[in-house]
């Protein structure tokens, strides 16, 4: 008797949605969770966004693709469905998403509860007001949440490129933990978007793994970096001239300071990129011949990242480009992988640093601002570089826009420590470079006060003396 594997596969998923999960059996011949594996006789259903999200029910856990791949039309349809169907207690799991984040609005309280694994601006108010959650976690560990079933995903909302002639779609500029999510979600809704760059690497998913496919071509989110300030330019020059060697493997966090560093590297040779993310600044260095990836030991010749966000110029550069490979974050951010590359130079920003070297990067006092991200992944990877020439760098302007010192005697009450004082090696402000590795607390305080804003140095010395009962000293 002829039968369709797609039919069996769909029936088992329906049983699972009805709560008969133990009846769902996946054998090698019937189903493989590997997205590269085409499933025989299995095709997604073409639906509108409104039709596709009807599968979401009260109590479900829903993964949302993030960054430049945020599936904006699916989110809007989900919000309408949640309100119209009077859903309750739907948990939304995601990294930072672009767009308004309508599900965080007060009127959706009780319908959706967002759980950010890294906050974006659209979630900060909801978290601070108790209507949403934030989970502290290293970026490289997030896939384990899904693979170990610590979070069991019912539905995944993702953006993909249209299927190619072999039926393969791409997750585009954001692979990160999304690969793990689609390996483990019970129902996958893919929003196809011809504007999404088709990227090479771990982000391929065969269309047979999509349960519903929604054609919705929309402009993907762009992020234009503001022109760096004079202070940021000074930091960029200090790092480029003193800490970045020819042949270094770079990791850059997001923000104006990492971009200011990139702008100062136009005389460097044979740079490599192995980073959790990158933006437009990398394109300039590739086109200028500074980035070749020729000396890397891991994925030689390729720019490695897990997500990217920038302007259309960046997305055009990434599209079908074999020079760029987007990988699972458990690979890109693995310390064991990072440390194998030559002269690993990790450049990250923060909110404030205390006189012992503790780095707060995820919160402003008690208010959660972002998340752990990959800072400690790369700070550790650079510190443990097998060639002994890695440079873990925290860079920041010496003071805030309001004139408050970012180098403080003690972190604000409620602040979280992302990078411990034992991990810190280099702290850079526009006033210089503080090298803290191997230094005691008295010496650390001395080095950090040297690179503080002049308006705050005297006060910091007094506070350091009161705290340590001795003066900061280089000896």
Burial 201-214 (b: 16+ CB within 10 A, else e): bbbbbbbbbbbbbb
**Of 372, 422, 466, nearest to 135 (Cα)?**
372
Distances (CA, A) of 259 to 220, 265, 391, 400: 21, 10, 17, 18
Q: For residue 429, what is the enclosing H or E element? A: strand 426-429
Is 276 marked active-site?
Answer: yes
Three-class secondary structure of residue 344 per DSSP: strand
Q: What share of the chain is helix, strand, coil (3-state, %, to 5)?
A: 30, 20, 50
Give the whole-angstrom CA distance, residue 9 versus residue 324: 34
**Residues recorded for the chain:** 475
In the block, residue with structure tokens 């993030």 = 66
Looking at 276, 325, 352, 430, which residue is catalytic?
Answer: 276
Helix H segments across 288-428?
312-318, 329-332, 335-338, 375-383
Tokens representing residue 312 in the block: 């259309």
Contact 267, 293 (CB under 8 A): no
Give the whole-angstrom CA distance, residue 86 versus residue 58: 8
Tokens representing residue 148 in the block: 């170990």
Question: From the centroid of its chain, how far is CA 398?
Answer: 25
Give the whole-angstrom CA distance, residue 213 versus residue 166: 16
In the block, residue with structure tokens 């929604």 = 214
Active site residues: 276
């Amino acid at each position: 008797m002829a039968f369709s594997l797609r039919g069996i596969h769909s029936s088992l998923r329906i049983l699972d949605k009805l709560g008969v999960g133990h009846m769902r059996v996946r054998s090698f011949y019937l189903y493989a969770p590997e997205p590269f594996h085409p499933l025989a006789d299995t095709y997604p259903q073409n639906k509108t966004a409104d039709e596709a999200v009807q599968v979401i029910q009260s109590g479900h856990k829903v993964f949302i693709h993030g960054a430049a791949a945020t599936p904006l039309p699916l989110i809007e349809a989900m919000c309408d469905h949640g309100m119209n169907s009077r859903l309750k207690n739907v948990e939304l799991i995601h990294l930072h998403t672009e767009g308004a984040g309508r599900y965080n609005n007060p009127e959706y309280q009780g319908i959706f509860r967002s759980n950010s694994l890294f906050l974006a601006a659209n979630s900060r108010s909801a978290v601070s007001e108790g209507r949403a959650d934030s989970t502290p976690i290293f970026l490289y560990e997030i896939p384990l949440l899904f693979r170990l079933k610590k979070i069991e995903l019912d539905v995944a909302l993702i953006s993909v490129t249209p299927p190619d002639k072999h039926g393969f779609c791409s997750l585009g500029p954001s692979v990160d933990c999304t690969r793990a999510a689609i390996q483990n979600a019970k129902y996958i809704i893919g929003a196809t978007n011809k504007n999404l760059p088709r990227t090479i690497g771990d982000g391929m998913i065969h269309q047979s793994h999509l349960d519903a496919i929604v054609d919705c071509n929309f402009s993907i989110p762009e992020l234009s970096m503001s022109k760096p300030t004079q202070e940021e330019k000074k930091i960029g020059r200090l790092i480029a001239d003193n800490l970045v060697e020819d042949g270094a493997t770079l990791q850059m966090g997001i923000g104006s300071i990492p971009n200011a560093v990139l702008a100062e590297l136009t005389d460097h040779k044979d740079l490599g990129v192995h980073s959790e993310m990158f933006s437009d600044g990398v394109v300039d260095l590739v086109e200028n011949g500074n980035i070749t990836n020729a000396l890397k030991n891991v994925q030689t010749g390729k720019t490695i990242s897990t997500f990217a966000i920038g302007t259309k110029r960046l997305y055009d550069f990434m599209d079908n480009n074999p020079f760029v490979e987007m990988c699972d974050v458990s690979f890109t951010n693995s310390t064991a992988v990072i440390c194998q590359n030559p002269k690993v130079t990790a450049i990250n920003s923060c909110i404030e640093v205390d006189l012992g070297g503790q780095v707060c990067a995820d919160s402003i006092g008690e208010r959660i601002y972002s998340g752990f991200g990959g800072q400690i992944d790369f700070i550790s990877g650079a510190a443990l570089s097998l060639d002994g020439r890695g440079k873990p760098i925290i860079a920041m302007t010496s003071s805030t826009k309001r004139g408050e010192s970012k180098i403080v005697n003690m972190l604000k009450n409620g602040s979280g420590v992302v990078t411990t004082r034992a991990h810190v090696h280099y702290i850079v402000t526009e006033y210089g470079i503080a090298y803290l590795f191997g230094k005691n607390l008295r010496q650390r305080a001395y080095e950090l006060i040297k690179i503080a804003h002049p308006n705050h140095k005297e006060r910091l010395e007094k506070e350091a003396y009161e705290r340590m009962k001795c003066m900061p000293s280089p000896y």
